[in-house]
A and B are shown apart, each in its own frame.
Chain A
Amino acid sequence: MILVLVEPAGSETSPLSLEALTFARELADPLGVPVHAVCVGPPASLADLAAHGVAEVHQADDPRLDRYAAAAWAACVLQAAQGASPAVVMAAASPRGNEIMAHVAARTGLRMAANVVRAQAGPGGGLSVHRQVMGGAALEEVRLDGDGGGNGSGPALFTMAGHAVDAEPAPESTGPQVRTFTPVLAEADLVGQVVRTEPVAATDSDLATARVVVGGGRGVGGAEQFGDLLELVDLLGGALGVSRVVTSLGWRPHHEQVGQTGSRITPEVYIACGISGAIQHWAGCSSAKTIIAINTDADAPMVTKAHYAVIGDLHEIVPAINAELRARLAGS
């Protein structure tokens, strides 16, 4: 059995968890084993889990789980796996997925691999994975069990990097059994519980889910020079994202940062203006469906890696795009 931690995103199933279920199915099918899901509280959508081929849902129920605590979540994952001896326990490499799986690893003493993009079952039950390291600039092949793996007979533990696969429903949907259980929780598992959550302004949280992201880098030139970009954001109903140098220089706040140490974005289109495209930035934006680069340097990595590019000064090009958009919006 392969056990997948499924996270909610608001009232829906997290899209990353659906990717993780797809990844798990591709690993499980050749082995002839089922995919199970573990949820804390009721799953956001049982229909999603059925469509993605989940055979059984392990649902942890306990009033003490109302507020998030990574250690308690990890306890639920381990207790869902109890008695079923899963070959793999995995989650999406979301902040929570990485955190909970690291707790699972610490509690079991097992090895865990973060940000896996490929997994392959070896002969004799071993599992080898390829995972992103150096912010995605290199891949590391790691043995997770079997000879030299150090995991003994325990399950392979890993998190799947976002967009390692596209979420695909199973060829045939299942009617998953839901097994609820009351986890055994120690007091220590609840110490690191969220005390309260303060909602952030809508504009601050849009970046990760925006359909259009307009990016600004060093080429923008200064804190006062973002007006054109912000107008383009407005006209397209998108979000502004910036490179690390922009936040380091204090031109824009950190929560707008796209990259290895900022947000990872997945918009329909990313318009990267004056961004050279360092590996750390690419790690955060490479999952955009279409990338348009606007840059004075036709050899900048952002330009050569983009799908489309305009060569020239962004402070001439972006206002022209804004004017064209305004004209079309007025005409439509």
Chain B
Amino acid sequence: MPNVLVCIKRVPGSAGQIELTPDQQSVDTRHVGYTVSPHEECAVEAAVQVVETHGGAATVLTLGPADAIEQLREALAIGVGGAVHIEADNEAFGPADVAAAIAEVARARSEAGDGFDLLLFGTDAADTGDFQVGIRVAYALGLPVVTGVRTFQLDGDRVVATGDGPEGTEIFEVPLPAVLTVKEGGITPRYPSIPGRLKAKRAPVELIEPPAAPSGTGRVRLSLPPEQPSAVEILGTGPDAAKAVVDLLVRIGVVAQ
């Protein structure tokens, strides 16, 4: 029965305007909440569905500060069975560092005879958007990797995955164990139930010491793109503006004169 690992990242919510800390090293999160990257929410859902269909076990992992336990508990609440928390200041960890730490956990599990068959990631994190952690983990463990996966199914000792290619839907088939990075769109995350939330509160979380001396991100500083002053031209109010809109579309050249 499949043993599934799903890796998530605690990221600042960014629905509104973001602000930076005075040292320009971080996003100022005093006025925004935290969440899990959307692609990873789908990966968590996928992990739960695999266990519902095939049995086995799902474990959620994050590398992040003490508060990242909130995001682990969200995954536990929708049905992931176990949680691993590599407690560390993730901003000091570049994608290669994060991947090395995850690979170490996976290797230790393998050596204990409890290796993961399927390792799920999001394609890229909503904050740093590096597109690398899953791929780097795959190389560290010598496993095949498919990225941008919309849907997948386990088929015996293989996984069949689909994703969007430039010429249509691409189908991949790789042997297990394998790494998949999931992209939002094919799998709809469920909402946690009340009993799920209660259970998640009490679920044990395995704490792991971070590896020593990450190589870092190379970040010099963050900046905000210059605010463009609004230059909007109001064409009108209500349906009376329709003629002005169509005149504009003719001028732009998308409607024939």
Contact = CB atoms under 8 A, between A and B. Distances in A.
A198 B215 contact: no
Contacts of B228: 305
B223 A192 contact: no
A132 interface: yes
Interface string A238-264: 100000000100000011010011100
A289 B189 CA distance: 34
A332 B172 contact: no
A290 B124 CA distance: 29
A9 B144 CA distance: 26
Nearest to A105: B132
A149 interface: yes
Contacts of B16: 278-279
Contact of B254 (A205, A236, A323): A236
A272 B242 CA distance: 14
A137 B14 contact: yes
Given A98-B131, A99-B135, A254-B184, A317 B220 contact: no
A168 interface: no
A164 to B, nearest CB: 12
Contact of A325 (B139, B246, B252): B246
Q: Is the interface of A mostly helix, strand, loop or mixed?
A: mixed
Contacts, number: 255
A247 B186 CA distance: 11
A223 interface: no
A70 interface: yes
B194 interface: no
Interface size of A as a range? 35 or more
A7 B167 CA distance: 13
Contact of A261 (B39, B239, B253): B39
B157 interface: no
A140 to B, nearest CB: 5
Contact of A268 (B164, B240, B241, B252): B252
Closest 7 A-B residue pairs measured CB to CB?
A320-B239, A320-B242, A254-B185, A141-B220, A312-B238, A106-B139, A304-B230
Interface of B: 12, 14-18, 20, 27, 38-39, 94-96, 99, 124, 126-132, 135-136, 138-140, 142, 144-148, 164-175, 183-186, 215-225, 228, 230-246, 248-249, 252-257
